[in-house]
Amino acid sequence: MGGGALAFDAYDSVKFVYPVTLNGCLTCSKPIEFDPVLFAPNNKFFITAKVPTKIEGTVPQGIDLGKFEISVDPRELGKWTKTVQPFLQVQFLYRVVGEKVWDAKLGAGITLHTGGYRVFNRCTGEVLFSSPLSAGQGPVDKRGCEDANAKPVVEDPAKNLPSKLAPTQILEPMKSIRGKIDTCYEQYQIPGTAEVSVTLTGKTGEVANVKIRGAFADTPTGKCVSDAVKTLKFPAFANESMTFSYKYELK
């Protein structure tokens, strides 16, 4: 098992993911103790999958094997950090071939060839990611895990949501109906700029109101554009509502 092999960055509230770095070490904060007779005078060694670039304090640095992202619904974030994150573990498959003893400047350590790894939830056995692809579940150890029959704690769905949407969360849906907007132009053949004011409901991310401003206000083309925008669904956010403006070029 790789104790401390997973390093979590801050939760990304735009992409709704936890960035994770996987470090190749059996124990990442302290060396492993071996038989003091067989390994005299020093019986404590780090075992890693890569030769570290340096040692900071007692922790090897520069031994990451890859970076991953774990999708976490912001409405479940509080529960996830308590009932899943602490129980994620790493299994490494090491082959003792071409092993290397570290340079003395780095301290006492051995680098072994890594044949594979998998990250799994020890409470359920669910494998989140692996290399090569894992054929089955990881070992289950329910000690300290949440009781599946326990009454769930109901959290405020808006607690971990952003107060408002990021620009990319607005642009992507608005761009996704470009084909419908082109159909509006093809139907009425009137070129110009359709200025759209859109109000969203925070709880659901649904379009609450659409106003067409400028030359296409109160026109069949404007209504066509408005109807297209009303079909969109945006991510939820904490504020009660938000309004933004957008322009479509019809030509």
Residue 111 CA to residue 103 CA, distance in Å, equals 11
Look at residue 3 in the predicted model and tell me its pLDDT: 56
Q: Where, residue-wise, is CATH 3.30.2420 in the chain?
A: 167-250
Look at residue 54 in the predicted model and tell me its pLDDT: 83
Coil, helix or strand for 93? strand
Residues of the chain with pLDDT under 50: 2, 149
Largest CA distance in the chain: 90
Name the packing angle between helices 220-230 and 178-188 (round to 10°): 160
Using alpha carbons only, give the angle 237, 241, 247 rounded to the nearest 5 degrees.
Answer: 95
Look at residue 154 in the predicted model and tell me its pLDDT: 59
Look at residue 45 in the predicted model and tell me its pLDDT: 79
Cα torsion through 109, 110, 115, 119, rounded to 10 = -10
| Threshold 0.85, pTM exceeds | no
Q: Please give the class, per CATH, of domain 167-250.
A: alpha beta
β strands within the chain, DSSP E: 6-8, 17-23, 32-33, 44-48, 54-56, 59-61, 64-71, 88-101, 109-121, 127-131, 192-201, 207-213, 241-250
Token pair for residue 146?
């949440």
Each residue's pLDDT tens digit, 187-225: 999 999 999 999 999 999 999 999 999 999 999 999 999
Look at residue 147 in the predicted model and tell me its pLDDT: 64
Coil, helix or strand for 35? coil
Look at residue 152 in the predicted model and tell me its pLDDT: 56
Each residue's pLDDT tens digit, 137-169: 888 998 888 765 455 555 666 667 899 999 999
Look at residue 145 in the predicted model and tell me its pLDDT: 87
Residue 28 CA to residue 100 CA, distance in Å, equals 18
Cα 231 → chain centroid:
28
Look at residue 56 in the predicted model and tell me its pLDDT: 78
